[in-house]
Amino acid sequence: MQRERVADDIYVFTSDLYVQVTAGVVVTSEGAVVIDTLAYPEETRLIKRFIESRLRMSVRYVVNTHFHADHTMGTCFFEGARVIGHALCRDLLEKRGRESLEQAKTNAPEMREVTLALPDIVFEGGVMNLHLGNKTLQLWSTPGHSPDSIVCLVKEDRTLFAADTLMPIPYFVDGNYDDFVESLNRLRNHNFENVVQGHGEIILRGEVEEKIAEDLDYLLKLRAAVDAALLDPSPDAALEAIDIEQCGKSRILLNGAAPQLHRRNVLALASARREPAQL
């Protein structure tokens, strides 16, 4: 696990074990806020130890940016902290998180110590502000990657935790393509100092607008390619042939996991674009 300090009071942890997933810690004069956890207990425990032993702080809140297991399975290790998320995150964790945790426990013995922890403070639509000591965390809904996705801005530092709304390749299989485009457009021109992606490297101030433009460009190229493939006499073969690099993203992103995510995007978008014709 890598640890980086992105501002005086903000640390980011990046997993070595699971596709560069990230978690954050915001230090305030009244305790710490953890933004997402890492996929395996071993790494989340190291974050907890860092906060308690090195920073000598207790964790007051854990923010769940969305229900996906790689971001939420460590919540249970911060006993005593209140958990914040979108109302849909709580619903999805109850419905789908429970199942995927049981699945994970059969596949990986180290997951047996994980219990499902649900957000106990939830919001729907709009913006939620969390004032803690000298910091203000502003949370708002950014559906697209998943319906419950939110981002979290540390206002004083202008650091945005974008979660999976910004990752090396946009991924909307559990969410919605059009919502994703809208959420990305809404992240433009905010003058962020740093943006922490849900997976992969931190984006610095001068690179943020370019990164959002690249992701929108990928989504547009992908849709044009899918629509063209659906008009082809053999649409399945044409869909299969849509290459990630033709849509402007490198295949080596996310330690080589990007082409697989791209392939699932192609299939999800194709089935969404076919639907109206089938009505």
Residues of this chain that interact with Zn ion (CB under 5 A) are 68, 164
> Measured from the CB of residue 234, what is the shortest distance to Zn ion in angstroms?
33
Q: Which is nearer to Zn ion, 162 or 225 (CB)?
A: 162
Q: Which is nearer to Zn ion, 139 or 225 (CB)?
A: 139
Whether the Cβ atoms of residue 201 and residue 167 lie closer than 8 Å to each other: no
Residue 137 in tokens: 């965390």
DSSP state of 202: P
Give the CB-side neighbour count of residue 141, counting CA atoms within 13 A. 16
Question: CB-wise, 48 or 68, nearer to Zn ion?
Answer: 68
Comparing C-alpha atoms, which of 30, 75, 84, 32 is closest to residue 55?
A: 32
The H or E element containing residue 153 is: strand 150-154
> Minimal distance in Å, beta carbon 27 to Zn ion?
25
Supply the minimum distance, in Å, between the C-beta of residue 139 and Zn ion: 16
Our CB check for Zn ion shows the closer of 9 and 215 to be 215
- Give Dmax over CA atoms of the chain in angstroms: 64
* Minimum distance from residue 149 beta carbon to Zn ion (Å): 8
Picking from 258, 257, 261, 263, the residue whose alpha carbon sits closest to that of residue 240 is 263
H/E stretch holding 267 reads helix 258-278
- Of the pair 164, 215, the CB lying nearest Zn ion is at 164
Shortest Å, Cβ 199 to Zn ion: 8
The residue of the chain with the least Cβ separation from Zn ion equals 68
Q: Calculate Rg over the CA atoms of the chain.
A: 19
Nearer to Zn ion, 41 or 147 (CB): 147
Q: How far is the CB of 175 from Zn ion (least distance, A)?
A: 9
CB 134, CB 29: distance < 8 Å: yes
- For residues 216-239, one letter each, b for 16 or more C-beta atoms within 10 angstroms of the residue's C-beta and e for the rest, the string is bebbeebbebbeebbeeeeeeebb
